[in-house]
Structure formats: C-alpha cells, structure tokens
C-alpha cells in the first residue's frame, strides 16, 4: 500500500461520539509525557470527537491557564512530532483544570457542575471517560465518589457511556488484584472498566494478529511440531530514574513481565479467535493461554527463574550507579532489576516448547523483540561438507525501537562451493509504510472513546497472570530463596541467565 492510499483509509476513520475526558492525577508525569501529547497527535490527525473536552484534575491548585502552560511544555518535549500552533490553540480551548481531592465527596459535586457547565453549550449528550493516572489505592474512593454524585451511570446500552481507564499496576499480587477488582466493581460494571497495558497499543504488537491470521503460510507452522522455542526480550538501557519508590516495591517481574510480556506472549500463542470485532473473542483466547501456562513448583522456580540486580557499570559510554546506590533504594534491597524465565504453555498446540523470557533495566540498549525459532532442517544432505550444523529459521518481531520483522533463512552464497549461510529477509515499518507509527496511547485513548475494549486487559487475564507468577514470588521471598545475582550495568544480564537455556542447548539471541 502506498502512503497516500494508507492516508485515504485513515481518513475514513469514524470519529468517536462526544466525549468529556477527566484525567485524575493530571499534575503527574504520565499526563504531560504521554496522555496530552497523544491527544494532541489525535487532534493533528482529526481523529478526536467533534465535541470534546478534557478536564485535568489533581490536588494541586492550578488554573486552566497554568495547566495548559504546564502540559504544553510536555507536548513540546514528548510529542512524537511537532504539533501545529493552530491545532494546539483549538485543542487548548477545550482543556480545563479542576482541583480535586479524590477522597472529598464535595469536590466531586464541584466536578459534576464543571462538567455540566462545559458540556451544556454543545447541545449534545457527552460520554464520560475517567482516566485514573494515579496509585491504585485511589481507584476505589474515586470510583465510589463518582458514582455517589451520579457521574457514573449504571451500565446499559442506552445509558450515557461511562468508562474508567485504570493504569498499572493492577495489584501487587493475586490477592491485592482481586481486592482491587472487588472494590472498583462496587461502582462499575466490567464493561465500564478499561485496564490499560500500553504494549497492546503498540503497532507491532497489534500486528501479531494480522501477521498470524492474515497470512496463510505461517499459521500451519505455529505449533509444537515446527517451533523449537520462543524468546521474548524486553531490554531497557535506562535505570529506575526517579521511580525508586514505585520500582523498589515491585521489581521487573511485576513491572514488565506480569503485564507487557505476558500479554505479548498470550497474543502470540492464542488460538484463532472467532471474531476480531468483539472485545471478548480475543480476550477469551488470551485468558486460555495464560491459564495454560504451567505453574511452577518451588523446585522448578530454582531451575527456571533467574533474578538479578545491576551493579555500577557503563551504559552508552556513561558511568552509572548500581541499583542499590540509586536514590530512594534501600542498601539491602533485594528487588529484581533483571529477570530471566523459562515457561511452558501446557496445551495441545504448545506443550514442550520452551518459552524464554528476559527483561531488565540497565542493559546495553533499548530493544523489545519476540523471536520464534523453528526446528532445524535435518543436515543429512550436507553431511561431510564442512558447513557445520544447519541453523534455525528464525522469525523475529521487533516491537521497538526499529519496528519491523525479519526471517532468517539459510542460503547458498555465490561461488563454486556448496556452502550454507544465514540471510535475513526483513521489513521495517519505516521503509514499507513510509509513515511514523502512532504512539500506543493514541490508539488506546481513541479506542476507549469509541467503547472498544479489545486492546484492554480483562480481569480474568490479570488474575491468571498474577496466579502464574505467584509461586515465583513465593519462592523468592520464602525462607530459602534462590540467589539474587549481580550483573554489571551495560551488560546483557547475569551469566547465570544463560543456564536457563543451556539444558536444551539454546542460547539467548544476540540483540
Ligand atoms: C512501563 C514500566 O510500564 O513500561 C517502565 O513501568 C518501563 O518501567 C516502560 O520503562 C517501558 O515502556 P516502553 O513503551 O518504553 O517500552
């Protein structure tokens, strides 16, 4: 498809109905770094509803003007492309601020009046989207206060659509996730809750479905008969920055694996859903995959998991501190900044296929990749030709930063001798589509305004993810925990992580 054709298709996009978006926690980082820049990019593409207002809300006492000035800084710094002054001005006219304490019912009355005053002049009924960009302990009080003043209507097809977007972390473990869900379900129906996992909004992650189900050639190979093993790597060069208070309580297994990695894995391994156009078809299949992942015994936790922490080292020619020296981290912290895992999906399609996962901070570079290693061809025809062992065909889906895919195949280099060399067939979004991919938050905000929950995580998926990690947390914090290894910042993690793959003679893919 050429660039102009793809633009034509995009222009046919149906704009969401009239929407008032209220962001709770609006003075925080997420609003300036992600949410407002995403909305501005949607405005730039004319994807926002014709009638649209945003109210930022938090405890800080800001005027509309203060709030606009604050988030404009964020837009300038973090938007994926410059926003034209005319688009910003039109957008900013609909951007407001309302101070609010999430635990004070009277503040919700004031919010209600503000919403009514701002929406009334439009003369149309507005849907309400509440974005909870804040710590989970506030989800319950905010939802119940919204409900109390009538800002959440009971769910029905006829009622005003009211949606609540909740950010991760959704709980700290299975118990707390269940409790959180119980609390918010007192005020909301499941259909009104949008649990965001921004990885599901990434183009390359959405493409997993198209790639698998819109091509005839891969699906027959997508199973234990042809797949040797799978690797998923989420590597970051950054440390924990200013987020010690959050990260040190959670660690990388909770921060990245419980949500982003398991969601990518689930999409990669689902059975064909019965439809792509209702949210539950895909979510049903994802939940089944998560449910099929083998739960580990304490012994298996020792064999199949490796956790580690970075010590001082060099990343991108810069000397950086070790994890325990980071500001806000306790000297004796045993929080994992790296994790390696070996999982198995114990179902008909995948049984026996090892799935290796690694995620870490302060690795040499930022790269997220899903890699499928297919079975090797028998080398009988090439025996005695001194070409070494044949290699796996490898399909790699690069989620970021260089969005694209590649397939490694064996080929004969030119010349009189019969030799075999691997070559890569690849495509990048950049060169094939000629347009920059939107940020994940753009797609997800648009979907919630349209009432499409396909790319949001359902409660049972969250519970399954916590459930399958529970034995690991238990063993790690138990009386005789497996070791916490070290790795130097700027390296690919602890050498012990190689041992996860060694029994099957596998090695981590070089990234
Ligand atoms: C967040 C984690 O969910 O994802 C962060 O809390 C992490 O620790 C971030 O850095 C990574 O997101 P992305 O889109 O940059 O890969």
255 lines ligand 1 (CB under 6 A): yes
Residues 476, 307: contact at Cβ < 8 Å? yes
Instruction: Pick the more confident residue, 38 or 382.
Output: 38
**Percent of the chain clearing pLDDT 90 (strictly above):** 88
Q: Tell me the pLDDT tens digit for each residue of 59-97.
A: 999 999 999 999 999 999 999 999 999 999 999 999 999
44 lines ligand 1 (CB under 6 A): no
- Residue 252 to residue 361: CA distance in whole angstroms: 8
Q: From atom 14 of ligand 1, which residue's Cα is the shortest distance away? A: 199
Tell me, in angstroms, the distance from the centre of ligand 1 to residue 503's CA: 31
Is a pLDDT exceeding 70 seen at residue 8?
A: no
- Residue 329 to residue 131: CA distance in whole angstroms: 29
Domains and CATH numbers, the chain: 3-167 (3.40.50.720), 200-373+458-504 (3.30.360.10)
Tell me, in angstroms, the distance from the centre of ligand 1 to residue 363's CA: 14
Q: Which of 347, 254, 270 is nearest to 307 (CA)?
A: 254
- Nearest atom in ligand 1 to 255's CA: 6
Residue 78 falls in the annotated catalytic set: no
- Residue 6 to residue 404: CA distance in whole angstroms: 18
- Nearest atom in ligand 1 to 368's CA: 16
- Residue 169 to residue 78: CA distance in whole angstroms: 23
Which member of 51, 198, 229, 260 is catalytic? 260
What average pLDDT does the segment 164-185 reach? 94
**pTM of the model as a whole:** 0.94
Segment (H or E) for 186 = none
Q: Is 410 helix (H, G, I), strand (E, B) or coil?
A: strand
Q: Tell me the pLDDT tens digit for each residue of 123-152.
A: 999 999 999 999 888 999 999 999 999 999
- Nearest atom in ligand 1 to 399's CA: 16
Pairing status of strand 227-235 against strand 19-24: unpaired
What average pLDDT does the segment 200-218 reach? 94
Is a pLDDT exceeding 80 seen at residue 153?
A: yes
Tokens of 493: 């993690």
Is a pLDDT exceeding 80 seen at residue 454?
A: yes
């Amino acid at each position: 498809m050429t660039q102009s054709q793809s633009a034509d298709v995009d222009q046919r996009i149906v704009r969401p109905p009239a929407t008032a978006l209220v962001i709770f926690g609006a003075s925080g980082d997420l609003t300036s770094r992600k949410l407002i820049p995403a909305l501005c990019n949607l405005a730039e593409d004319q994807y926002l509803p014709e009638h649209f207002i945003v109210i930022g809300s938090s405890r800080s006492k800001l005027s509309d003007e203060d709030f606009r000035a604050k988030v404009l800084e964020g837009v300038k710094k973090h938007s994926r492309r410059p926003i034209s002054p005319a688009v910003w001005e039109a957008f900013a006219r609909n951007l407001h601020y309302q101070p609010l304490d999430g635990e004070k019912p009277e503040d919700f009355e004031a919010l209600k009046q503000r919403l009514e005053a701002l929406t009334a002049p439009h003369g149309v009924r507005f849907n309400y989207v509440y974005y909870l960009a804040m710590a989970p302990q506030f989800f319950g009080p905010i939802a119940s206060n919204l409900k109390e003043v009538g800002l959440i209507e009971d769910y029905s097809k006829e009622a005003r659509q009211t949606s609540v977007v909740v950010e991760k972390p959704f709980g700290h473990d299975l118990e707390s996730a269940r409790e959180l869900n119980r609390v918010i379900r007192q005020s909301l129906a499941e259909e009104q809750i949008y649990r965001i996992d921004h990885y599901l909004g990434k183009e390359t992650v959405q493409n997993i479905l198209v790639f698998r189900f819109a091509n005839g050639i891969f699906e027959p190979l997508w199973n234990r008969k042809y797949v040797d093993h799978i690797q998923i790597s989420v590597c970051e060069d950054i440390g924990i920055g200013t987020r010690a208070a959050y990260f040190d309580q959670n660690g990388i297994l909770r921060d990245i694996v419980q949500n982003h990695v398991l969601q990518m894995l689930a999409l990669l391994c689902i059975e064909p859903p019965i439809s792509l156009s209702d949210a539950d078809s895909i979510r049903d299949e994802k939940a089944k995959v998560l449910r099929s992942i083998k739960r580990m015994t304490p012994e298996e936790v020792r064999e199949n998991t490796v956790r580690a922490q970075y010590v001082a080292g060099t990343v991108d020619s810069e000397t950086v501190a070790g994890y325990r020296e980071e500001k806000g981290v306790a000297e004796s912290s045993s929080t994992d900044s790296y994790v390696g895992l070996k999982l198995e999906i114990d179902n008909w399609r995948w049984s026996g296929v090892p799935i290796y996962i690694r995620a870490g901070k302060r690795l040499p570079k930022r790269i997220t990749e899903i890699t499928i290693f297919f079975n090797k061809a028998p080398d009988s025809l090439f025996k005695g030709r001194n070409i070494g062992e044949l290699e796996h065909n490898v399909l790699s889906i690069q989620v970021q930063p260089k969005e694209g895919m590649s397939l490694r195949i064996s080929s004969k280099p030119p010349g009189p001798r019969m030799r075999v060399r691997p070559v890569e067939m690849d495509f990048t979004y950049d060169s094939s589509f000629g347009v920059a991919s939107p940020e994940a938050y753009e797609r997800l905000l648009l979907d919630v305004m349209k009432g499409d929950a396909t790319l949001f995580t359902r409660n049972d998926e969250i519970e399954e993810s916590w459930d399958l990690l529970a034995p690991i947390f238990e063993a790690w914090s138990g009386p005789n925990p497996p070791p916490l290894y070290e790795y130097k910042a700027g390296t690919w993690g602890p050498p012990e992580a190689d041992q996860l793959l060694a029994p099957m003679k596998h090695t981590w893919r070089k990234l």
